[in-house]
C-alpha cells in the first residue's frame, strides 16, 4: 500500500543507483561535518535557532539533490503558515528527515532519538539547532525531554515527531508512542498528520544503497486537540492514526494501538 518509486532495470538504472549511493553517502560524511560546524557556529545568533535551522535545511536540500531525489509537497488548505503545530509523521527511512526539514514551513524543531546526539559534530549541531533529544528506553529521561519540548513550544514555533519511534519496514503503521499527543494536549496546539511516501524506496532501513526517485510529503488538515481532551486521548490517537495512514498510503492496523514510551 505504501508509495514507492517505479522499479527500473538495465545498465542505466544500475549506474544511476551506483552514482546516487556514492554521492549521497559521501555527502552525508563531508557535508554533515562541514555544515555541522557551521550550524554550531551560528546556533547562538539571534533570533536563536533561525540560522541553524536554515543550515540544516541547506544540508537537506543538498542531500536530496546529490542523491537524485525529487521532493513533492502537498498541504491541506486549512494549514496556516504562521501558526504553530505538532507535526506527527510516519517513519520509513533516513531520508524522512531531510524531506521533513524542507517541507515544514516556518520555525520548528524535531524530536530525535538520543543516539543521534552522541555523534561528534553532527549531534552537537542537532543540539545547536534546538532539536530535542529523547531516550525512550529511560522513562525519566523521556519525561524530561518532553518537558523541554513543551517549554520550547510555548516560546513559539512548531515541533515535529515520528510517533512510531523507529523506522517501519512494512506497509502497516507501527504502534504510536504517546509523547507527541501528550505534548499537543498540554500545549493546546493542533496536531497535523504528515504522510511521507517514497523514502523507503530511496533507501530502506539498515541499507546504504540509495535509489534516485520521488519523495512525497503530504500535510493533512490540523486536528484540534481541545475537541478531545485527555479523557478522549485514545480517540485522538486513533483519529490521527487513520488520517496519517491515508496520507502515507499505508494501513492503519489497530487504530487504537498505543506503545509505551
> Helices in the chain by DSSP H: which ranges?
11-42, 50-66, 96-103, 114-117, 122-128, 139-154, 179-187, 199-202, 233-248
Question: Residue 6 domain-assigned?
Answer: no
Residue 2 placed within a domain: no
Structural domain includes residue 118: yes
pLDDT of 74 strictly over 70: yes
Residues constituting the chain? 261
Tell me the whole-structure pTM to 2 decimals. Answer: 0.91
Tell me whether the omega of the peptide bond preceding residue 47 falls within 30 degrees of 0, making it cis.
yes
Whether 254 maps to a domain, the answer reads: no
CATH code of the domain covering residue 212: 3.40.1130.10
Q: Residue with C-alpha cell 518532553?
A: 146
Encode pLDDT of 86-135 as tens digits.
999 999 999 999 999 999 999 999 998 888 888 888 888 888 888 988 88
Compute, in degrees rounded to 10, the torsion defined by CA atoms 80, 256, 199, 42: 50
Instruction: Give the integer Cα–Cα distance in Å for 167 and 170.
Output: 9
Residue 31 located in a structural domain = yes
Banded pLDDT at 257 (limits 50, 70, 90): low
What is the per-residue pLDDT for 6?
47
C-alpha cell at 219: 500535510
Q: Examine residue 1 and state whether it is found in any structural domain, yes or no.
A: no
Residue 95 inside a domain? The answer is yes
Domain that holds residue 175: 11-248
Number of domains in the chain: 1
153 within domain boundaries: yes
Amino acid at each position: 500500500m505504501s508509495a514507492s518509486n517505479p522499479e527500473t532495470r538495465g545498465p542505466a538504472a544500475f549506474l544511476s543507483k551506483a552514482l546516487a549511493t556514492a554521492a549521497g553517502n559521501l555527502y552525508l560524511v563531508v557535508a554533515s561535518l562541514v555544515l555541522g560546524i557551521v550550524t554550531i557556529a551560528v546556533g547562538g545568533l539571534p533570533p536563536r535557532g533561525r540560522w541553524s535551522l536554515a543550515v540544516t535545511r541547506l544540508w537537506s536540500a543538498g542531500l536530496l539533490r546529490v542523491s537524485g531525489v525529487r521532493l513533492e509537497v502537498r498541504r491541506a488548505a486549512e494549514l496556516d503558515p504562521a501558526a504553530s503545530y505538532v507535526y506527527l509523521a510516519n517513519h520509513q527511512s533516513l531520508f524522512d528527515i531531510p524531506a521533513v526539514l524542507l517541507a515544514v514551513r516556518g520555525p520548528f524543531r524535531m524530536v530525535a532519538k538520543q543516539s543521534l546526539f552522541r555523534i561528534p559534530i553532527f549531534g552537537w549541531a542537532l543540539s545547536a539547532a534546538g532539536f530535542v533529544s529523547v531516550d525512550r528506553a529511560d522513562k525519566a529521561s523521556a519525561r524530561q525531554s518532553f518537558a523541554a519540548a513543551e517549554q520550547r513550544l510555548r516560546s513559539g514555533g512548531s515541533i515535529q515527531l515520528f510517533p512510531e519511534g523507529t523506522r517501519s519496514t512494512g506497509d502497516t503503521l507501527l504502534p504510536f508512542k504517546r509523547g507527541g499527543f501528550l505534548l499537543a494536549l498540554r500545549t493546546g496546539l493542533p496536531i497535523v498528520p504528515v504522510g511521507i511516501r517514497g523514502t523507503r524506496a530511496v533507501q530502506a532501513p539498515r541499507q546504504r544503497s540509495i535509489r534516485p526517485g520521488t519523495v512525497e510529503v503530504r500535510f493533512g488538515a490540523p486536528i484540534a486537540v481541545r475537541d478531545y481532551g485527555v479523557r478522549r486521548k485514545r480517540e485522538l490517537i486513533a483519529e490521527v492514526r487513520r488520517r496519517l495512514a491515508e496520507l502515507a498510503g499505508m494501513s492503519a492496523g489497530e487504530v487504537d494501538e498505543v506503545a509505551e514510551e
